[in-house]
């Protein structure tokens, strides 16, 4: 049996902000030092991001219309974790539903036939949570099997894909709905540090949903299938990226060393994954790289001497949406899947054969998976 990637759909909140508008918001904050404010225009301009999305209007509106922050430019007192999580509990299910409803439509699937629901998120918690809300609003069967993957950060979608693959390989009738949703903008912090300024400059809100199904060879032929996934925990790197629950939201640490450390370990990681399937880098005709930031994509392109076309989708997703944490890689994969399906429909030779997807998160952890045309 093959684990076929049938469809991907994405969704974003209505509050679309240009990167210039986001920088202007930060420059108004009175508690930030002049030294930090001098760096903000350059950091935002060179981020590789043009637009970002937020579930709240605060970052692009007047003080009187703030939804999360108090109406003053010190933004004090800071909203509590409880305040932020209340917005998450209200808004995350809506965004997850939007992406899920669309992907079910795109896959031409009766929602009552979905056997498994896998939800992924790290920017809020509630119980009953996303899974229960989706079951009710989408009309899924009350007996649908549920798995929640929480607090794993930017690479969490890969654990969702692995879970879906394991399900499809053990159940010939499996139809899995995978849903990732993150509201990163709820957790922006006003710490007067360069690290925090960079974090505030790249993260965004979004959701993505995918349908993966168990298919026989005759049913799967010509389609893209998830073949294998691999994980590498890099030793002694825990301090380079972390994600903790604080009193004023979730607190992130992000070292500028991350791109270089990942690049140092990635060649051996990739060679091992590909060799286990009798492949080399030359066999890859698509790369889906999680654009955690411009520098990580730059570093990987340089390390592997990748043509511009192989990283164009990652750069474009970063430009249009910023880093949405776990859903981001599905935004990239959607572009690739849409091209593949279009080529299959028109019998074009441009359909994809072998491709790799990669992401990086707390640990430091490298997560990747291999897709192949059946």
- What is the SS3 string spanning 196-228? HHHHHHHECEEEEEEEEEEECHHHHCCCEEEEE
Helical residues (DSSP H) of 283-327, grouped into ranges = 294-304, 308-321
For 290, how many CA atoms within 13 A lie in the half-sphere containing its CB?
28
Query: How many degrees, rounded to 5, is the angle at CA 195 between CA 194 and CA 197?
Result: 60
Provide the 3-class DSSP secondary structure of residue 80.
coil
* Spatial distance between the Cα atoms of 365 and 156, rounded to a whole number of angstroms: 10
- The angle formed by the CA atoms of residues 250, 28 and 48, to the nearest 5 degrees, is 65
Q: Is the dihedral of CA 23, 27, 33, 39 positive or negative?
A: positive
Could you count the other beta carbons within 10 Å of the beta carbon of residue 127? 9
What pLDDT is stored for residue 192 in this prediction?
Answer: 93
Q: Determine if the peptide bond prior to 128 is cis (ω within 30°).
A: yes
* pLDDT the model gives residue 158: 98
Beta strands 175-183 and 116-121: pairing type?
parallel
Structure-token match 């007192």, residue found: 77
From the number of C-beta atoms within 10 Å of its C-beta (0-12, 13-18, 19+), residue 278 rates as exposed
Element (H, E) at 232: strand 224-233
Mean pLDDT of successive 10-residue segments in the chain (374 residues)?
Answer: 98 97 96 96 97 97 94 95 98 98 98 98 95 98 97 97 98 98 96 95 98 97 96 96 96 95 96 97 96 96 97 98 98 96 83 94 96 96
Spell out the domain ranges in the chain.
Answer: 224-373
Within 10 angstroms of residue 222's Cβ, the number of other Cβ atoms is 13
- Listed residue (118, 77, 19, 1) closest to 318, CA to CA: 19
Architecture of domain 224-373: 3-Layer(aba) Sandwich (3.40)
- Cα separation, 204 vs 53, in Å, equals 5
Distance of CA 186 to CAs 33, 86, 87, 97, 260, Å? 22, 10, 8, 19, 29
Which residues are CB-contacts of 235 (< 8 A; sequence separation ≥ 6)?
A: none
pTM above 0.95, yes or no: yes
CB contact at 8 A, 66 and 226: no
Distance between CA 255 and CA 198 in Å, rounded?
10
User: Given this model, what pLDDT does residue 356 score?
Assistant: 97
Q: Which two tokens stand for residue 117?
A: 């629901």
Tokens standing for 35?
């030294």
Rounded (10°) angle between helices 194-202 and 34-45 = 30
Structural element, H or E, at residue 113:
none
Q: Residue 358: what pLDDT?
A: 98
197, 27 contact by CB (below 8 A):
no
Tally of CA atoms within 13 A in the half-sphere of 2 that contains its CB:
20
From the CB of residue 194, how many other CB atoms can be counted at a distance below 10 Å? 13
């Amino acid at each position: 049996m093959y684990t076929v990637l049938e469809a991907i759909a994405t969704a974003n909140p209505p509050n679309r902000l240009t990167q210039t508008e986001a920088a202007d918001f930060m420059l108004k904050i009175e508690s930030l030092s002049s030294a930090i404010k001098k760096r903000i225009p350059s950091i935002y301009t060179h981020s590789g991001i043009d637009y970002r999305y937020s579930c709240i209007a605060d970052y692009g509106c007047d003080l009187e219309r703030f939804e999360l922050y108090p109406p003053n430019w010190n933004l004090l007192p800071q909203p509590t974790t409880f305040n932020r999580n209340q917005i998450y509990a209200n808004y995350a299910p809506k965004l997850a539903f939007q992406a899920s409803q669309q992907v079910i439509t795109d896959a031409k699937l009766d929602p009552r036939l979905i056997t498994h629901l896998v939800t992924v998120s790290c920017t809020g918690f509630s119980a009953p949570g996303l899974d229960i809300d989706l079951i009710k609003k989408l009309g899924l069967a009350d007996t649908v099997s549920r798995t929640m993957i929480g607090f794993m950060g930017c690479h969490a979608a890969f654990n969702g894909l692995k879970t879906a693959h394991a399900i499809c390989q053990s159940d010939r009738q499996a139809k899995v709905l995978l849903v990732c949703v993150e509201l990163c903008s709820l957790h922006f912090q006003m710490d007067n540090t360069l690290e925090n300024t960079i974090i505030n400059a790249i993260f965004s809100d979004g959701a993505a949903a995918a349908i993966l199904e168990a298919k026989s060879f005759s049913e799967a032929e010509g389609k893209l299938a998830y073949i294998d996934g691999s994980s590498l925990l890099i030793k002694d790197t825990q301090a380079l990226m972390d994600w903790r629950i604080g009193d004023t939201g979730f607190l992130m640490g992000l070292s500028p060393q991350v791109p270089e450390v990942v690049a140092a370990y990635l060649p051996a990681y990739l060679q091992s994954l590909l060799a286990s399937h009798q492949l080399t880098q030359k066999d890859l005709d698509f790369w889906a790289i999680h654009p955690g930031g411009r520098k990580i994509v730059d570093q990987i392109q340089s390390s592997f001497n990748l043509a511009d076309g192989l990283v164009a989708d990652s750069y474009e997703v970063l430009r249009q949406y910023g880093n949405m944490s776990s859903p981001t890689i599905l935004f990239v994969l959607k572009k690739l899947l849409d091209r593949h399906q279009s080529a299959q429909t028109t019998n074009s030779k441009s359909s994809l054969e072998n491709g790799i997807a990669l992401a990086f998160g707390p640990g430091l952890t490298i997560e990747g998976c291999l897709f192949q045309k059946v």
